[in-house]
RNA sequence: GCAGGGUUAGUGAAGCGGUCAAACACGGCAGACUGUAAAUCUGCUGGCAUAUGCCUUCGUAGGUUCGAAUCCUACACCCUGCA
């Protein structure tokens, strides 16, 4: 079987993944697959710091803008879609580059998570209104054991939906280089600050207002920091400065959760900057280019 | 100048004689997380020891009391009303 190399770039928000991925793509005839739970959505452009049109023109991007914010999207959906896109890319003899900050999505793809028991909207809606105690009781009644996060309503609901299914994962996909783009905390926080500043300059508030009037605050795609931070401002309960500040905080908190997720993965090859990354990639790709 | 209100841990804010190292919220730190994941949730958050232990805190200084963040006095700063 022909080896099929794949490069994945992970890291915290604002760590510079997009720019690195584009460089890789240009160097190796690559196409980018966005492993990102928010940039899949149309109409979320400013708030997600989505690759801009110029960047998208430079290199093909996949799984961007494929859904309306009113539609739900899951890690399993991503896994399926990305798998298909990757085989298309190979059929063009190009290099797939998976880039994203959604750790679960990346892992689902690279470790071939075994998904099962898709959520039933009716059951989920019913369960969502239950208290934690009630959910725990249901689980125990069914003879299932409580999830690791036994006080997390969402995980409790999922446990009920899975109905005893034990999820599995495999080893890291062969022929894969998993690169982690590290960044120190101060630099990251500065970048987030100026990123938020630019978002507001570029019309973040208008984008939020438009999407909210079109899809409503509760739309699945709109569950993200900008909407949380700016809702009180848009509803006239809070000043702009306060919301701006909250958005920065939310992004920093998100970055921290990403860090927690990625740092336990021993397969990640951490690099501190672009040139370190490109060096690693060169070594990795040399295994394939000679054939 | 007179009268009244205020000053609590990183921030906001409870507490108004003992059960107060001091509720709660936010922030911070660490962590979990396979069909909601930029979501959601957990633990810790004065110092030191880390098991029920000790030490230093509630504007500052003094006092009352067996015992004070809580009462009294003085001082400092802030806000409101009358001047």
Tens-binned pLDDT, residue by residue, of chain A (291 aa): 678 999 999 999 999 999 999 999 999 999 999 999 999 999 999 999 999 999 999 999 999 999 999 999 999 999 999 999 999 999 999 999 999 999 999 999 999 999 999 999 999 999 999 999 999 999 999 999 999 999 999 999 999 999 999 999 999 999 999 999 999 999 999 999 999 999 999 999 999 999 999 999 999 999 999 999 999 999 998 899 999 999 999 999 999 999 999 999 999 999 999 999 999 999 999 999 755
Residues A213 and A208: their CA atoms lie apart, in Å, by 8
State whether the beta carbon of A163 lies below 7 angstroms from any atom of strand B: no
pTM: 0.94
Strand partners, A6: A176
Strand partners, A30: A95
* Max Cα distance, chain A (Å): 63
Q: Which A residues 164-223 have CB within 7 Å of strand B?
A: 167-169, 185, 220, 223
Tokens read off for A120: 């039933």
List of E strands, A20-165: 30-34, 61-62, 95-100
Q: Distance, angstroms, CA A291 to C1' B38?
A: 40
Tokens read off for A63: 């799984």
State whether the beta carbon of A104 lies below 7 angstroms from any atom of strand B: yes
- State which nucleotides on strand B lie below 7 Å from a protein beta carbon: 27-42
Residue whose CA is minimally distant from B33 C1': A149
Tokens read off for A175: 């022929």
Q: Distance, angstroms, CA A74 to C1' B14?
A: 43
Q: Distance, angstroms, CA A151 to C1' B17?
A: 40
Instruction: Please report the pLDDT score of residue A290 as a whole number.
Output: 59
| CA–C1' nearest nucleotide, residue A165 | B34
| CA–C1' nearest nucleotide, residue A255 | B38
Q: Distance, angstroms, CA A150 to C1' B52?
A: 29
Q: How many helices (H) and strands (E) does chain A have?
A: 12, 6
Instruction: Please report the pLDDT score of residue A1 as a whole number.
Output: 65
- A181, exposed or middle or buried, with CB in 10 Å at 0-12, 13-18, 19+? buried
Q: Which A residues 46-75 have CB within 7 Å of strand B?
A: 47-50, 72-75
């Amino acid at each position: 079987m022909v080896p099929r190399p794949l490069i994945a770039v992970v890291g915290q928000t604002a760590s510079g993944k997009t720019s690195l991925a584009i460089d890789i793509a240009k160097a190796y005839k690559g196409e980018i697959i966005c492993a990102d739970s928010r940039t899949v959505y149309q109409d979320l452009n400013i708030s997600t710091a989505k690759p801009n049109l110029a960047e998208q023109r430079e290199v093909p991007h996949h799984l961007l803008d494929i859904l309306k914010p009113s539609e739900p999207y899951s890690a399993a959906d991503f896994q399926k879609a990305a798998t298909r896109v990757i085989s298309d890319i190979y059929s063009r003899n190009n290099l797939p580059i998976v880039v994203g900050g959604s750790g679960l999505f990346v892992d689902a793809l690279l470790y071939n998570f075994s998904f099962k028991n898709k959520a039933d909207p009716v059951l989920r809606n019913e369960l969502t209104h239950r208290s934690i105690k009630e959910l725990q009781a249901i689980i125990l009644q069914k003879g299932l054991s409580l999830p690791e996060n036994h006080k997390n309503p969402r995980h409790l609901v999922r446990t009920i939906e899975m109905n005893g299914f034990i999820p599995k994962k495999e080893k890291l996909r062969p022929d894969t280089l998993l690169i982690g783009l590290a960044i120190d905390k101060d630099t990251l926080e500065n970048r987030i600050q100026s990123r938020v500043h630019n978002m507001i300059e570029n019309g973040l508030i208008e984008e939020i207002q438009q999407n909210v009037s079109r899809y409503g605050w509760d739309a699945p795609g709109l569950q993200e920091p900008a909407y949380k931070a700016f809702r009180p401002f848009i509803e006239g309960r809070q000043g702009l400065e306060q919301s701006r500040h909250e958005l920065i905080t939310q992004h920093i908190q998100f970055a921290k959760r990403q860090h927690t997720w990625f740092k336990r993965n021993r397969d990640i090859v951490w690099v501190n900057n672009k040139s370190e990354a490109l060096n690693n990639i060169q070594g990795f790709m040399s295994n394939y280019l000679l054939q």
